[in-house]
Amino acid sequence: MTLEQLHFEPDRRPLLEVRGAGHSYGERYGCRDVSFELWPGEVLAVVGESGSGKSTLLGMLSQRLKLSEGSVRYRLGDGDVVELSELSESRVRRLWRTEWGFVHQNAADGLRMHVSAGGNVGEPLMATGWRHYGKIRAAAAEWLARVEIPADRIDDAPATFSGGMRQRLQIARNLVVSPRLVFMDEPTSGLDVSVQARLLDLIRSLVAELGLAVVIVTHDLAVARLISHRTLVMKDGRVVESGLTDRVLDDPQAAYTQLLVSSILQG
Amino acid sequence: MSTALPGYNVGYLDEQTKRMIRRALLKAVAIPGFQVPFASREVPMPRGWGTGGVQVTASIIGGDDVLKVIDQGADDTTNAVSIRSFFAKVTGASTTTCTEDATIIQTRHRIPEAVLREGQIMVYQVPIPEPLRFLEPREAETRRMHALEEYGLIYVKLYEDIAKYGHIATTYAYPVMVNGRYLMDPSPTPSFDNPKLHQSPALHLYGAGREKRIYAVPPYTDVVSLGFEDHPFEPQRFEQPCAVCGSTGVYLDEIITDDAGGVMYACSDTDHCERAAALASAHIDDLEEARA
């Protein structure tokens, strides 16, 4: 988070305040004892091997999974701070529609594969009450251009798109309602390296441009290094290390983080 | 009341089943447009042939009722004839093809051209009750969307139509909002008939046998067809009059007359067409008499 953003943020409270949060699958905890703060405009990377509880943490923060212990407090657009687990289902779903985005690893989970690209981007607008076809279409076209999808593909279904295009479409669909907080679950894995680089570049510029707060889950340290300000390192459902991304990756303290950093292939 | 087929309960279904369906119907009428689950029974016809409508009719029909059954607006098609004779056999109720005389009208597609009145009941045979089904395949999710009144998704369907065809091309099962609360699929009725539902004096009951759902539009209820501000709902229109009776402003069927592209357009509502044709010929007779 930059100083300018701090200056323009009238309410100096974090967007998301997580204290001792955990989610259990029956007897077993998927993640436990997680505490951090997320500020507007900040990108937080959650890294760790598969099974370390990254996706559980993301599900828990976005209220897709129930909070088993601890607290997750969120500052609403109107300034009120709410405990997310106490919100009614309809209010949580309204947050999904108006203030949050969720970018899935598999684009098919976040898109309607047989609805046109324009319809996919327009749907969140229609869900928030837009009822003017011309305006919806114009907004969809504008967002497709921003994520570099050719204008003549607006009426094609994402089922006909390449993996990279699908992922960019998913990002457009999430950002069209100008959310305040976006959750991303491994948005670049499964894409080849050059497409990954382009997508990361796009995410980074959009995040900076829109001042989004992002929680991004990844197992790829390069992704964390490229776009995040701070990093949480998870292992066996717990946070083993957290701090500024450059500090965590250049001077890892925890044994596991050292292992993780040293296991990257050096070119 | 004339005698029903011996060995069968009146209306074919047993009394407990009819009660269960009536309870579902009462709930459906109390919450206009809401899909009430019910335990659909087997009736002597395959699912998909109108078993939902048949069960609703069987549960509400009494000895003094007059039943009319139409399929695509016609009284003389196979399904209409067989359902009508089925109820004549198992209830002893009288049947008719005249819309005005009927107290219960079971239909597959059309709402008759004649204006319905208070006391009449329309029974619809519904194939797919869920208007969001083809956009959201998960039943649990669509129910939640109904509960929370999240209906943005249905506009995606209309959006896709305009994007593809330049106008809303959905001409049947056109989605409506009932009583300002529930999104409803008015079954496969043509959008031409949608305006007839709005503030209709008749009771409209919808039965989906395979999907096990009942819903209803009570008399004098607001039924609004959805649309965009810049692409509002427009019912279908027909340019030409009926080739048989000359009626205008009615729903027409295209009838292919030869293999050289010849077609004619005639009323889909056979009852309306017959009477309009009779009236027209009587009028011509009058004119000829006056001339003579």
Annotation marks residue B245 as catalytic:
yes
List phi, psi (to 5°) of B29: -70, -35
Q: How far apart are the first and last CA of chain A?
A: 31
**A53 touches A237 (CB < 8 A):** yes
**Cross-chain Cβ contact B156/A119 below 8 Å:** yes
A 134-173 residues with CB < 8 A to B: 134, 136-137, 154-155
Nearest to A173 by CA among A127, A213, A227: A127
- Residue ranges of the domains in chain B? 15-128+183-223, 252-291
Amino acid identity for residue B276 in this structure: A
Nearest to A231 by CA among A246, A209, A211: A246
**Cross-chain Cβ contact A131/B155 below 8 Å:** yes
pLDDT tier at B128 (50, 70, 90 boundaries)? Answer: very high
Q: How far apart are CA A193 and CA A163, in angstroms?
A: 12
User: Which residue in B136, B159, B162, B177 has the most chain A C-beta atoms within 10 A of its own C-beta, making it the best mutation to test that interface?
Assistant: B159
The tokens describing B10, both together, are: 């009146």
C-alpha A138: how far from its chain's center? 25
**Cross-chain Cβ contact A133/B162 below 8 Å:** yes
Chain A, nearest residue to B155 by Cα? A126
**A58 touches A48 (CB < 8 A):** no
The tokens describing A205, both together, are: 């510029």
Annotation marks residue B33 as catalytic:
yes
ipTM score of complex: 0.86
Q: How far apart are CA B107 and CA B253, in angstroms?
A: 16
**pLDDT at res. B63:** 87
Q: Which helix (H) or strand (E) holds B266?
A: strand B263-267
Topology of the domain comprising B15-128+183-223: Rossmann fold (3.40.50)
Task: Please name the member of A93, A116, A132 whose beta carbon is closest to the beta carbon of B229.
Answer: A132
Q: Which helix (H) or strand (E) holds B70?
A: strand B66-70
Would an 8 Å CB–CB cutoff place B164 in contact with chain A?
A: yes
User: Which residue in B228, B231, B233, B234 has the most chain A C-beta atoms within 10 A of its own C-beta, making it the best mutation to test that interface?
Assistant: B228
User: Which residue in A90, A109, A133 has the most chain B C-beta atoms within 10 A of its own C-beta, making it the best mutation to test that interface?
Assistant: A133
Query: Is pLDDT above 50 for B1?
Result: no
List phi, psi (to 5°) of B243: -70, -20
Sign of the CA dihedral with A152 first, then A155, A159, and A160 last: negative
Q: CA distances (Å), B90 to each of B6, B8, B50, B79, B95, in order?
A: 8, 7, 17, 16, 12
**Cross-chain Cβ contact A123/B156 below 8 Å:** yes
Helices A133-146 and B152-165, axial angle in degrees (round to 10): 80
**pLDDT at res. B195:** 96
Would an 8 Å CB–CB cutoff place B135 in contact with chain A?
A: yes
CA of B157 to nearest chain A CA: how many angstroms apart?
8
Q: Which regions in chain A score pLDDT beneath 50? A: none
Would an 8 Å CB–CB cutoff place A22 in contact with chain B?
A: no
Task: Please name the member of A112, A118, A133 whose beta carbon is closest to the beta carbon of B135.
Answer: A112
Annotation marks residue B242 as catalytic:
yes
Would an 8 Å CB–CB cutoff place B163 in contact with chain A?
A: yes
CA of A107 to nearest chain B CA: how many angstroms apart?
16
DSSP bridge partners of A223: none
CA of B92 to nearest chain A CA: how many angstroms apart?
50
Nearest to B146 by CA among B168, B123, B186, B178: B178
Q: Tokens 């919806």 identify what position?
A: A136
Which residues of chain A have a CB within 8 Å of the CB of B155?
A: 126, 131
The tokens describing A173, both together, are: 């669909």
Q: What is the DSSP letter of B172?
A: B
Q: How far apart are CA B104 and CA B66, in angstroms?
A: 6
Query: Is pLDDT above 60 for B237?
Result: yes
C-alpha A34: how far from its chain's center? 17
Q: Tokens 């009426």 identify what position?
A: A155
